[in-house]
Amino acid sequence: MQTIVSSATKTVTIGHDQPFAIIGERINPTGRAKFQRQLRDGDLSRIEIDVEQQVAGGALLLDVNMGAPLADEAELMVRAVTLIQRLTDLPLVIDSSIPEVLEAGLRAYQGKALVNSVTAEDERLHVILPLVKRYGAAVIGLPNDEEQIPDAPEDRLVLARKLIRTATDQYQIPVEDIVIDPLAMPVGADTGNTVRTLETLALVRDEFGVNTTCGASNLSFGMPDRHALTAAFLPLAAAYGLTSAIMDARAPQVVAAARAADLLLGHDDWGAAWIAAFRAAKAAEPTQAMPAAP
C-alpha cells in the first residue's frame, strides 16, 4: 500500500516497498526558546536555516509546527507554509493540535499535504477528518482516545481500527491516505515502551497494511546519547513495519541508520542509494592541504 504526498512539483511515495521516508522535525518551536521568541516577533528567518539543513541532511518531507505560546499560530502557519514552498519543493506535513491552524495551513499549501494528526477521540475525529477530506490530504492517526494512551499493543490496535474505519466509512478517505503512529513513548520512563511500539507496528501492518510513522526522537527523551538510541531503533522499527518517521534529518548517524535499514531490508536495489550517499559525504569532506615542501 502506498501513501502519496506532494508539493506543487514533487511527489513522495511512502510504502512498505519504498525507501524509508525521513520527515524532518526541526521546524517546530517546542523546546526552542529563541525560536519561540522569534516567531512571536514575526521573524521567520530561522525557518530558512532549518529548511536548508534538513534538505541537505536527506529529509524527504518537512513537518511544520508553529505552536509558539502567545503567538498567532494560524497566521504564522500561513506565512511559514508560503515561505517554505518558495525555499524547497519537498512536500509538507502540516502539524498542529488546533483545527483552525491545520485548515489555515492546508488552505495555503499547494499540493497534497500530510496532516499531523488526529487521535481516536470522537470529537477530534469529527473535526479533523472533514478537513482532511475537504483538502484531499493524507493524515497521521494516533491510537489514543479520551480515556488513555493504551499500554497494550492490542488495545492500540482497537483504537487504530476505530480510526481507520471512521475515516474510510464515514468520510470516504482512502485507506492508503491514513498513516498510523504506533506511539513511540520514552524508553527512559519504561524500558518496555519500545517493545510495545514494535508490537503495535506489527499488528497494524498485518491487519491493515497501512503506512506508519512516529516521532522517533520521543523514545530517547530524557536519555543521554539520544542519536545512538534513535539510530538503533529505526532499523528495528522498519523491520516491524515502520515506513516513515518524524526525526532529526540533521543527524548523520540517524539518517545513515535509516538508509542502512533500506539496504538491509531490500529497499535499496544493489545498494545504489547507500553507495551514492557515502560518495557524496566523502566528496563534501574538506580537502587536507598538502604539507609545504621543506
The single-letter code of the amino acid at 241 is: G
The pLDDT score that the predictor gives to residue 288 is: 55
pLDDT digits (tens, 9 = 90+) for 129-169: 999 999 999 999 999 998 889 999 999 999 999 999 999 99
The yes-or-no verdict on residue 205 having pLDDT over 90 is yes
What Cα–Cα distance (Å) separates residue 75 from each residue in 69, 79, 99, 174? 13, 6, 13, 30
In contact, 230 and 258? CB cutoff 8 Å: no
Q: What are the pLDDT digits (tens) for 60-119? A: 999 999 999 989 999 999 999 999 999 999 999 999 999 999 999 999 999 999 999 999
Confidence of residue 284 (pLDDT cuts 50, 70, 90): confident
Return all residues near 290 (Cβ < 8 A) that are at least 6 apart.
Answer: none
Q: Provide the 8-state DSSP code for 195.
A: H
Q: Residue 96 to residues 115, 136, 184, 235: CA-CA distances in angstroms?
A: 8, 17, 18, 28
Domain residue extents for the chain: 184-199+214-282
- Containing 178, the helix (H) or strand (E) segment is strand 178-180
pTM of the model: 0.94
Convert 192-226 to b/e letters by CB count within 10 Å (16 or more is b): ebbebbbbbbebbbeebebbbbbbbbbbbeeeeeb
* Residues pairing with 139 in the sheet: 115, 178
Question: Tell me, what's the pLDDT at 285?
Answer: 82
Give residue 147's pLDDT: 84
In whole angstroms, what is the distance from residue 140 CA to residue 102 CA? 13
Residue pair 125/133 in contact (Cβ under 8 Å)? The answer is no
Closest Cα to residue 18, out of 218, 188, 179?
A: 179
Give bridge partners of residue 245 from the DSSP assignment. 22
Give the containing element (helix H, strand E) for 131: helix 122-134
Cell of 156: 492500540
